[in-house]
Amino acid sequence: MITFDNVTKHYPGATTAVDGLSLEAPNNKLTVFVGPSGCGKTTSLRMINRLITPTSGSILLDGEPTERMDVALLRRRIGYVIQHAGLFPHRTVVQNIASTPRLNGVAKAKALTIAHETLERVGLNQSFAHRYPWQLSGGQQQRVGVARALASDPKFMLMDEPFSAVDPVVRAQLQDEFLRLQREIGKTIIMVTHDIDEALKLGDRVAVLRTGGKLAQIATPRELLARPADAFVADFVGRDRGFRFLSFAGFDASLPLRKEPTVALGTMPEAARQVALDRWVLVSDGAGRPFGWADLDAQSGPLREEDVNLSGTMAPRGGNLRHVLDAALSAPSGRGVVVDAEGGLLGTITLSEAAAAVESARGMGGEARS
Ligand SMILES: Nc1ncnc2c1ncn2[C@@H]1O[C@H](COP(=O)(O)OP(=O)(O)OP(=O)(O)O)[C@@H](O)[C@H]1O
Ligand SMILES: [Mg+2]
């Protein structure tokens, strides 16, 4: 557990970066610090490994005040991932990763073995091992940064905007991979971000800080959305928080899916009309995976790939009601497609059925009403 006990940091020039911060980051959980630029997130993080000294108050690791610890030992207990990865430019990928076990006194050969293993854990294959940082994309560099922090198997990890320097698609991938990894390794992590979506997606608990370094609220993502403590938090978690809440409502067998016929490319419109529920017919690939809708009213010849409307999203089983609602909203037929993990068709659901599922989820949770 990482504990902030009434921690304050004044910088010279009268900036109060952090003001009386008290909170606990529980073991084996990911706690996110989120807040607007300049609200003291990085300062708070760097006080934990004593790159910055608090003006007053104390920080404890598993109940032990850090100010009494040897700084070098303290830092070895804590993995640290900084923004833009911060890799050593003149060292190869494996040398970068091996640097943390080396600091802990692991012999060189063993450290390199660990480095190669850790590389795979963050989703990079061995072809990257002997490249230099400048030969990697931003996302790959960030993976190496995470690997370097993980390689010494620290109990605690501090991560400062670890996924920020990449495009939204890569960012979502890195987040998903990291969530999977954290489920395995269960580190005690504090992660900083200014992105509320990232905070709600990754955090077991989320601490919202306001400018001036004051804690506005710390809660689970669900609680933050359902019961923001004040107008600042409500505004920060976003205007569409009612919609975001659906991300936490799973769906299961109880969802009323209808059987939806599908046709393959090459089907003639007359034949498609025989099976279609209305003018819209769902088109699937050779393996029975649906990929789009065809408008039979606009169809004269056999169905070609370019006739297929790809606008509808598909809700995966194991997903949440936000996926289901979006699938129904985006389908030109008005019927949202629900698929299994392999992309196989499970059935479709109309917008009003999806809305009913949302309504009943609200009834069960109760908290969605604000
Ligand atoms: N070395 C310093 N000297 C003086 N003021 C500083 C120093 N470092 C940070 N500050 C100020 O302290 C405040 C908090 O800075 P900090 O870097 O912790 O913010 P942050 O929440 O991480 O912001 P961002 O999201 O932009 O990274 C800011 O007002 C900043 O200008
Ligand atoms: Mg910062």
pTM (two decimals): 0.81
Q: Are residues 277 and 163 in the same domain?
A: no
Residues 226 and 272 in one domain: no
φ, ψ of residue 8 in degrees (nearest 5): -130, 140
Distance between CA atoms of residues 192 and 194, nearest Å: 7
At 61, the amino acid letter reads L
Task: Note the ligand closest to the C-alpha atom of 208.
Answer: 1
Instruction: List the structure tokens of 39.
Output: 């609200």
Spell out the residues 6+ positions from residue 344 whose beta carbon is closer than 8 angstroms to its own.
287, 288, 289
Please report the atom of ligand 1 found closest to the CA of residue 18. 14
Q: Return the closest-CA partner of residue 277 out of 334, 201, 216.
A: 334
- Closest atom of ligand 1 to CA, residue 194: 25
What pLDDT does 173 receive? 84
Instruction: Identify the domain containing residue 350 by its residue range.
Output: 262-362
pLDDT at 363: 66
Regarding whether 303 and 229 lie in a shared domain, the answer is no
Whose tokens are 């392999």? That residue is: 342
User: Looking at 229-319, which runs of residues are DSSP E strands?
Assistant: 262-263, 280-284, 290-295, 314-316
138 CB-contact burial (10 Å; exposed 0-12 / middle 13-18 / buried 19+): middle
In CATH, what number is assigned to the domain containing residue 333? 3.10.580.10
Residues lining ion ligand 2 (Cβ < 5 A) are: 42
Whole-number pLDDT of residue 51: 95
CA distance 342 to 332: 23
Angle between helices 138-150 and 93-103 (to 10 degrees): 20
When divided into structural domains, the chain yields a total of: 2
Q: Tell which of 237, 272, 288 closes a domain.
A: 237
Residues sharing a CB contact under 8 Å with residue 32, sequence separation 6 or more, in sequence order: 190, 191, 192, 193, 198, 199, 202, 203, 205, 206, 207
Residue 245 within a domain? no
Q: CA distances (Å), 239 to each of 172, 236, 349, in order?
A: 21, 8, 27
Identity of the residue numbered 14: A
CA dihedral of 243, 247, 253, 255, whole degrees rounded to 10: 10
37 CA from centroid of ligand 1 (Å): 8
254 found inside a domain: no
Q: Would you state the pLDDT for residue 364?
A: 60
Pocket flag, ligand 1, residue 41 (CB < 6 Å): yes
Domain's final residue, options 237, 270, 304 = 237
Q: Is the CB of 43 under 6 A from ligand 1?
A: yes
Q: Are residues 266 and 233 in the same domain?
A: no
DSSP 8-state code for residue 138? H
- CA separation for the pair 192, 231 (Å, rounded): 22
Residue 237's pLDDT is 87
Note whether 32 and 132 are same-domain residues: yes
List C-alpha distances in Å: 120 to 124, 184, 228. 5, 14, 40
CA distance 4 to 25: 9
- Other beta carbons within 10 angstroms of residue 78's beta carbon come to 21
Give the atom of ligand 1 at the shortest distance from the alpha carbon of 36: 25
Domain match, 232 and 270 both? no
Ligand 1 proximity of 193 Cβ (cutoff 6 Å): no
- Using the mean position of ligand 1's atoms as its centre, give its distance from the Cα of residue 69 in Å: 25
| Same domain assignment for residues 298 and 149 | no
Q: Are residues 144 and 181 in the same domain?
A: yes
Tell me, in angstroms, the distance from the centre of ligand 1 to residue 11's CA.
9
| 246 located within any domain | no
Q: For residues 53 and 198, state if they share a domain.
A: yes
What CATH number has the domain bearing residue 109?
A: 3.40.50.300
Does the Cβ of 255 fall within 6 Å of ligand 1? no
Q: How far is CA 227 from CA 89, 125, 189, 194, 294, in A?
A: 46, 43, 24, 20, 43
Give me the long-range contacts of 284-292 (CB less than 8 A, separation at least 24): 284/345, 287/344, 288/262, 288/344, 288/345, 289/339, 289/342, 289/343, 289/344, 289/345, 290/260, 290/262, 290/314, 290/337, 290/339, 290/343, 290/345
- Residue pLDDT tens, the chain, 370 long: 999 999 999 998 878 999 999 999 999 999 999 999 999 999 999 999 999 999 999 999 999 999 999 999 999 899 999 877 789 999 999 999 999 999 889 999 999 999 999 999 888 999 999 999 999 988 889 899 999 999 999 999 999 998 887 778 888 888 988 998 899 999 999 999 988 989 999 999 999 999 889 999 999 998 998 899 999 999 988 777 778 888 888 777 678 899 999 999 999 999 999 999 999 999 999 888 999 999 999 999 999 999 999 999 999 887 889 899 999 999 999 999 999 988 999 999 999 999 988 888 876 654 443 3
CB–CB of 129/91 below 8 Å?
Answer: no
Same domain, yes or no: 188 and 104: yes
Q: Are residues 214 and 177 in the same domain?
A: yes
- Coil, strand, or helix at residue 78? strand
pLDDT given at position 255: 82
